[in-house]
Chain A
Amino acid sequence: AAGVIQSPRHLIKEKRETATLKCYPIPRHDTVYWYQQGPGQDPQFLISFYEKMQSDKGSIPDRFSAQQFSDYHSELNMSSLELGDSALYFCASSFKQGSGSGYTFGSGTRLTVV
């Protein structure tokens, strides 16, 4: 069965650079969520999109932005990277905004800022 695809799997950037993370949800899933997981931490919600509109916002820095495209894939754009942005970034998708259909997570993108 198709899963949530995230790319790239690993990314190394220098401070003050920009990064773009991509997420391709399961076909027919209309909602995408982004999470950030620092070392030894639980995943923290960043932002979500439902039908290409932002549906909720968590602890996402102003340096980050995201959008969902017409094919439902989503991109997380991160600018002016800081060392503290080093983390695992997960994308999850669901159908109808987590109404009970469950969530599926991608394998994550590991971002290392040096």
Chain B
Amino acid sequence: AQSVTQPDIHITVSEGASLELRCNYSYGATPYLFWYVQSPGQGLQLLLKYFSGDTLVQGIKGFEAEFKRSQSSFNLRKPSVHWSDAAEYFCAVVQGAQKLVFGQGTRLTINP
């Protein structure tokens, strides 16, 4: 079954620095991949999604992600983080034809 792994449980970066959050997927064919962000006690907000086509996907809030089949990765990037980006980030993949399966999440802390 399709799954995603987020190797980093917690990442700390300084405000203004660049960011890359890792996500690896396990699936033979082209997966449907998503990145969500969740602030404490809040809902899940979709940042971006990849279904097919251009492997570099632009999302909201200045985020982008690149689908790399050769590395089975879908890493999330942002060139310059803001203090408001501190949150939990989840990578997710569609399993079967239906449900989303989430990675373990990466907690992002921003140093002033």
- Interchain CB contact under 8 A, B51 and A90: no
Question: CB of A86 within 8 A of chain B?
Answer: no
- CB-CB under 8 A from B45, the residues of chain A are 105
Interface size class, chain B: 20 to 34
- CB-CB under 8 A from B104, the residues of chain A are 42
Least CB distance, A54 to chain B, in whole angstroms: 11
Interface 0/1 of A55-71, CB less than 8 Å to B: 11010000000000000
Question: Which of A31, A92, A100, A110 sits near B32, CB closer than 8 Å?
Answer: A100
Interface 0/1 of A74-91, CB less than 8 Å to B: 000000000000001010
Question: CB of B84 within 8 A of chain A?
Answer: no
- Interchain CB contact under 8 A, B41 and A33: no
Least CB distance, B79 to chain A, in whole angstroms: 25
- CB-CB under 8 A from B87, the residues of chain A are none
Question: CB of A98 within 8 A of chain B?
Answer: yes
Measured CA separation A88–B98 after assembly (Å): 21
Least CB distance, A76 to chain B, in whole angstroms: 15
- Interchain CB contact under 8 A, A56 and B99: yes
- CB-CB under 8 A from A103, the residues of chain B are 34, 46, 100
Residue of B nearest to A46 (CB): B99
Number of A positions contacting B (CB below 8 A): 27
Residue of B nearest to A43 (CB): B102
- Interchain CB contact under 8 A, B51 and A105: no
Question: Which of A56, A99, A102, A105 sits near B44, CB closer than 8 Å?
Answer: A105
Question: Which of B41, B49, B90, B99 sits near A45, CB closer than 8 Å?
Answer: B99
- Interchain CB contact under 8 A, B98 and A97: yes
Least CB distance, A62 to chain B, in whole angstroms: 19
Q: Would you list 27 pairs from A and B whose C-beta atoms are within 8 A, ordered by A residue?
A: A31-B98, A33-B98, A33-B99, A33-B100, A35-B100, A42-B102, A42-B103, A43-B44, A43-B100, A45-B99, A45-B100, A48-B98, A50-B98, A56-B96, A90-B43, A98-B32, A98-B94, A98-B97, A98-B98, A98-B100, A103-B34, A105-B36, A105-B44, A107-B42, A107-B43, A108-B42, A110-B41
Where the two chains meet, the residues of B that have a C-beta atom closer than 8 Å to any C-beta of A are: 32, 34, 36, 41-46, 49, 51, 90, 94, 96-105
